[in-house]
Amino acid sequence: MQSRTIQTDGLTQRVLEAGSGPLVLLIHGFPELGISWRAQIAALADAGFHAVAPDMRGYGGTDKPEARDAYSILHLVGDMVDLVRALGETSCVVVGHDWGAPVAWHCALTRPDLFRAVFGLSVPFQPRRPRGPPTAAMAAISKRLGLGDHYISRFQADDAHAVFDADPATALRKMFYAYDGATPDGRQSTGFIPEGQSFISTAPDDATLPPWMSETHFAEYVAAFSASGFRAPLDWYRNLDRNWALTAHLQDARVTVPAAFVVGERDPVRNYSGQHEAGLKDWAPDLRMQVVVPGAGHWIQQERPDEVNRRLLDFLRLPGVA
Q: Is 97 an annotated catalytic residue?
A: no
**Marked catalytic residue, from 63, 98, 149, 180:** 98
Q: Which residue, 119, 112, 127, is CA-closest to 94?
A: 119
Q: At 52, which helix (H) or strand (E)?
A: strand 50-54
Distance, CA of 169 to CA of 166 (rounded, Å): 9
Measured CA to CA in angstroms, residue 60 lies from 32, 54, 136, 226, 228 at distances of 9, 9, 31, 10, 7
How large is the C-alpha radius of gyration of the chain? 18
Distance, CA of 83 to CA of 11 (rounded, Å): 10
Q: Where are the beta strands (DSSP E) in 166-286?
A: 192-193, 259-264
Q: Is 98 an annotated catalytic residue?
A: yes
Sequence-distant (≥ 6) Cβ neighbours of residue 314 within 8 angstroms: 289
**Marked catalytic residue, from 28, 97, 161, 298:** 298
Distance, CA of 102 to CA of 201 (rounded, Å): 27
Residue 120 burial class via C-beta count within 10 angstroms: exposed 0-12, middle 13-18, buried 19 and up: buried
Q: With beta carbons less than 8 A apart as the criterion, state whether 133 and 240 touch.
A: yes
Distance, CA of 116 to CA of 289 (rounded, Å): 16
Would you please indicate which residues are annotated as catalytic (active-site) residues? 98, 298
